[in-house]
Amino acid sequence: MIVIVDYGMGNLKSVQNAFVKVGYKAIITEDLNQIKKASAVVLPGVGAFRDAINTLKKKKIDKELIEAVKINKPFLGICLGMQLLLTFSEEGGLYQGLNLIPGKAKRFHHSVKCPQMGWNTIKYVNHPSHDLNPIFKEVPDESYFYFVHSYYCVINDEQIISSVTDYGLVYSSSIWKNNLFGVQFHPEKSSTLGLKILKNFGELS
Amino acid sequence: MLTKRIIPCLDINKGRVVKGIKFINLIDAGDPVELASFYEKEEADELVFLDITASWEKRNIIIELVKKTAEKVFIPFTVGGGIKNLEDIFHMLRAGADKVSINTMAVLNPRLIQEASLKFGSSTIVVAIDAVRRFSEWEVMINGGRTRTNLKVTDWAKKVEKLGAGEILLTSMDKDGTKEGYDIQLTRTVSENVNIPIIASGGAGEPKDLFEVLVAGKADAALAASIFHKKEYSISKVKAYLKQRGVKVNLRREKSDDREK
């Protein structure tokens, strides 16, 4: 069973609806035991970094998420859920994240409108040493996805960056390390190709 | 690069789409969910539902509609009309709406914008501004355009940005329903004065109007109702037109759609 982590943020129902649409059962829960038992974990997110990480810590969900990644359980962070994987974020101050991926979240420059809101392309980053990110199976390079965010991820380890996107600057729009995946865009709101990504992730569960 | 968005707007009364819809391929053209799915296939970038239900006891119908839409439609959608407080916003988002648009209540209680954006995230809060031209400026109108506020549109736009709104849905009441094109000057002025996305609304009559408001008007998105509902132009066709003229759009279907001929 896929578990969508409920920490009081954002539109969780849409993520669940999208998994149902592609044939996977997913539950929305904050229950630590359910997260422990999950075949895959999804950390969605809309909202402020500080509130999100505080809630995760208060409910002790943070340790469970770190454990899930440690035992190599399929794990997908969406939007803020991807940023939460990082060492820290500059949103509203300086706040520590889950520190699963060395890096930080920074605000877009004032020369572009903030938030970035709408459809943008992702360009695959080819690494000679490994294959295409498995959640992008049958998703053409430079496809459009729906983005809504004011902060972007700066990833220290270039090897784990699987795509980049251009919005005033070129930044990492997805990451992949073992069974840990992060996407800055919203697959659950990106029509057919977004659903394809969730299906690919579901297949790993 | 980020693309410009094309957004059909559906007016909803007691759970049904109103305003002359002329689709023949749909089983039930008055069904918002059916129409929303159709628009997703037609490559709409987002959808806006405007609830115009006047009777208070029928207002929970929109919540059910949002739930059903979220199960079937996988592009973002905004719900507006009659949003009064944090609780209304919570229920809309919980039901599956991606964004909520606030109009009259934002003017009457600006703190609502601040509280809502802190609680639910800026990106979920759209402030709708209805503008009427007064000489060389524009005035904000509320209560569906019936009540004056003495607020200048540019001042109000800057204020809602400061309060945390993630986006502005800007309607020219002078142009709305005329099909003469958007108010380019209004849209451009507001867009240049804030650093959040602007959805232009009011006046779309043909693809050229969308081109003008997106380029000369510097809008980030264009909202339209009747030109899509009445099947005068399909969304894909409008996008193909824009693309041909160098506007970045998300067009999956490269060939223009000929089904209407």
Query: Which structural domains are found in chain B, ordered by start?
Result: 5-244 (3.20.20.70)
Closest by Cα among B151, B247, B197, B221 to B5: B221
Query: How many CB atoms sit inside 10 A of residue A128's CB?
Result: 4
pLDDT single digits (tens) B127-180 = 999 999 999 999 999 998 899 999 999 999 999 999 999 999 999 999 998 899
Q: Is the pLDDT of residue B27 over 80?
A: no
SS3 for chain A is CEEEECCCCCCHHHHHHHHHHCCCCEEEECCHHHHHHCCEEEECCCCCHHHHHHHHHHCCHHHHHHHHHHCCCCEEEECHHHHCCEEEECCCCCEECCCCEEEEEEECCCCCCCCEEEEEECEECCCCCCCCCHHHCCCCCCCEEEEEECEEEEECCHHHEEEEEECCCEEEEEEEECCEEEECCCHHHCHHHHHHHHHHHHHHC
Rounded Cα distance, B259 and A34, in Å: 49
Please indicate whether, in this complex, the C-beta atoms of A115 and B166 are within 8 angstroms of each other. yes
What pLDDT is recorded for position A92?
A: 84
β partners of residue A149: A116
Nearest to A118 among B5, B93, B96 (CB): B5
Q: HEC profile for B33-52? A: HHHHHHHHHCCCCCEEEEEC
- pLDDT of residue A142 exceeding 80: yes
Q: Which of A113, A150, A192 sits opposite B220 (nearest CB)?
A: A113
Token readout for A173 is 């729009």
Q: Taking 50 as the threshold, does the pLDDT of residue B259 lie above it?
A: no
Q: Indicate whether B65 pLDDT > 70.
A: yes
The catalytically annotated residue of A30, A67, A79, A110 is A79
B56: pLDDT confidence band, cut at 50, 70 and 90? low
- What mean pLDDT comes out for the span A40-69? 93
pLDDT of residue B255: 42
Q: How far apart are CA B55 and CA B41, in angstroms?
A: 33
pLDDT for res B29: 64
Q: Choose between A104 and B94: higher pLDDT.
A: A104
For residue A130, give Cα distances in angstroms to A127, A159, A161, A162, A163: 6, 9, 12, 10, 14
Mean pLDDT throughout A133-143? 96
Structure tokens at A116: 């970035």
B194-220 pLDDT, tens digit per residue, is 999 999 999 999 999 999 999 999 999
* Least Cα separation, residue B10 to chain A (angstroms): 19
Q: Is the pLDDT of residue A133 over 70?
A: yes
Tokens at B196, concatenated: 């959040």
* Residues of B labelled catalytic: 11, 130
- Please tell me the pTM assigned to this model: 0.94
Q: How far apart are CA A113 and CA A136, in angstroms?
A: 28
Check whether B22 has a pLDDT greater than 60.
Answer: no
- CB B221 to CB A118 under 8 A? yes
Per CB-CB distance under 8 Å, the chain A contacts of B221 are 118
Distances (CA, A) of A142 to A1, A120, A166, B121: 31, 9, 11, 28
CB distance A153 to A171 below 8 Å: yes
Considering only CA atoms, give the Rg of chain B.
17
Q: What is the ipTM of this complex?
A: 0.94
Question: Is B166's CB within 8 Å of A146's CB?
Answer: no
Q: Is the previous residue joined to A74 through a cis bond, with omega within 30 degrees of 0? A: no
| Rounded average pLDDT over B182-198 | 98
Q: Do B123 and A114 touch (CB under 8 A)?
A: no
> Which residue has 């299906």 as its token pair?
A199
* A-proximal residues of B, 89-108, CB under 8 Å: 93-98
The distance of Cα B16 from the centroid of its chain, to the nearest Å, equals 18
CB within 8 Å: B197 and A166 = no
Tokens 């209407």 -> residue: B260
Active-site option among A91, A149, A186, A203: A186
Strand A161-166 with A170-177, pairing: antiparallel
pLDDT(A9) > 60? yes
Hey, how many other C-beta atoms are within 10 angstroms of the C-beta on A54? 14
Residue A30: burial class (beta carbons within 10 Å; 0-12, 13-18, 19+): middle
Specify the CATH class of A2-204 in words: alpha beta
Nearest to B122 among A18, A115, A146 (CB): A115
Q: How confident is the model at residue B226 (pLDDT cuts 50, 70, 90)?
A: confident
Q: How far is CA B171 from CA B153, B187, B239, B243, in A?
A: 11, 9, 21, 24
**DSSP secondary structure, B158-214, as one string:** HHHHHHT-SEEEEEETTTTTT-S---HHHHHHHHHH-SS-EEEES---SHHHHHHHH
Residue A152 is predicted with a pLDDT of: 97
Confidence of residue B258 (pLDDT cuts 50, 70, 90): very low
Domain boundaries, chain A: 2-204
**Are residues B123 and A150, on separate chains, in Cβ contact within 8 Å?**
yes
Using an 8 Å CB-CB cutoff, list chain B residues near A113: 195-197, 220
pLDDT of A119 > 80? The answer is yes
- Mean of pLDDT over chain B: 90
Give the pLDDT confidence score for residue B131 in this predicted structure.
97
Structure token digits, residue B80:
């507006």
The pLDDT, as a whole number, for residue B24 is 46
